[in-house]
Structure 1
Amino acid sequence: MIEVPKHTRNIMSKAYSKINSEHLEQLELHANNVDEFLKLDNITDILDDTDTILTYLGFDENDDLTDFGRELQNLYDDIYYNN
């Protein structure tokens, strides 16, 4: 079973709420909302979606990691190291 941190739902809810439906289609994610994300049973799919969302939302106009980007990166690291 894939182990995700307790704060996953909060962070990913925030992420999915920031992605409009038009961009959601273009990102080609494995999950289209947080509930689908939490049901993914393949670690690669979870990490791919997290990384795609990090790339899409986690940087500012100067390509510096934002506070939200750091949250996503920490989540990615937690999932990666615990699985």
Structure 2
Amino acid sequence: MRYIVVFAQQEIGYAVGFDNTSDAHDFLFWGYEEYDLVPYGIFDALTGEVWPYEHRGERISDVDDQIISRTALDYLKAAIRHTT
């Protein structure tokens, strides 16, 4: 799991991991289109890069990149604790 998507649903932040960027983008696209998710962006766990999500060329949320990184890293820490 390299790419961590960060999003909100009913004003609560969540994160989910994916192995490739196309699955991560698809999740955010369809989550926004079909399930009322508010996509924040994608965090690359290998490089530390953040890509704010744009839906059809426009940002959906005005969330700072640091919030995306922090949420993704918290998700990774929790995932590691559950596997050890």
With the shorter chain as reference, the TM-score category is 0.3 to 0.5
Greater helix percent: which structure? 1
- TM-score (ref. length: structure 2): 0.33
Q: TM-score, normalised by structure 1?
A: 0.33
